[in-house]
Amino acid sequence: MELKYEHGKIAIENKVFTTLDRFVLDFTELLEEYVDYVIVSGYVVILFGRARGTEDIDTIIRYIDRDTFASFYQRLSRDGYYFLNPEDVTGLYEMLEEGLGVRIAKEDTIIPNIELKFVKDDFDRYSIDNRLEVVLGEKRLFISPIELQIPYKLYLGSDKDIEDAIYLWDIFSEKIEVNRLREFMKALNVRGEEYGIEV
């Protein structure tokens, strides 16, 4: 794997795009016109090579007002997306305000889908304020800092999540800010020694 790091960006050159990559890149290009976002969790791990599938792309956005959301909703409809949730635009916005996720897919499909949520806590805010730009050829997207993703995955704690944490550590251990990782591990009260994540 060749990763190029520069000024808060990581470039993955010559990556063969998956159907999932194209779906995410198309969607985030549109989303970016309306609001800052950050992708967290499973797709972050897949983007850097983990060989596993995922149904949904967890995406956090900053708070937007009703009118902006309504414009975004209309744009999605024009561009061939739909919300899986049965609520109308008002109901969808209320779901977001209540801290729930809303799901968006391309017409006539269910998987893959984007699960969109408003920023809800300090970890989400940190993710979006310190998001990492990943450059894929002419395209780009924004992901949560790896230093937060590893502890977050350990915190979630399922076998799959722990395997994701191990994978990210193995790929990035020489590149990440260990102090920052240590702080998040402490904040989330997780330990990694058992899995070879030694900080």
**Which of 16, 13, 18 shows the shortest CA–CA distance to 3?**
13
Cβ atoms of residues 77 and 104 within 8 Å: no
Shortest distance, CB of residue 29 to another protein, whole angstroms? 19
Q: Which of 29, 32, 129, 170 binds another protein (CB under 8 A)?
A: 170
**Residue 189 found at the interface with another protein (CB under 8 A):** no
**Residue 178 found at the interface with another protein (CB under 8 A):** no
Give ∠ CA 14-15-17 in degrees, rounded to 5.
130
Shortest distance, CB of residue 126 to another protein, whole angstroms? 25
H helix runs in 14-143, sequence order: 19-31, 42-47, 66-78, 89-97, 122-129
**Residue 16 found at the interface with another protein (CB under 8 A):** yes
Cβ atoms of residues 134 and 140 within 8 Å: yes
Residue 145 or 192: which CB sits closer to another protein?
192
Q: Which residues of 155-167 are buried (b: 16+ CB within 10 A; e: fewer)?
A: beeeeebbebbbb
Half-sphere exposure of 107 (CA within 13 A, CB side): 6
**Residue 198 found at the interface with another protein (CB under 8 A):** no
Residue 112 or 151: which CB sits closer to another protein?
112
Residue 3 or 71: which CB sits closer to another protein?
3
Cβ atoms of residues 40 and 152 within 8 Å: yes
Footprint on residues 30-49 left by another protein (CB under 8 A):
46, 48-49
**Residue 71 found at the interface with another protein (CB under 8 A):** no
Residue ranges in contact with another protein by CB under 8 A: 1-2, 12-20, 46, 48-51, 53, 55-56, 84-86, 101, 103, 109-112, 159, 162-163, 166-167, 170-171, 195-196
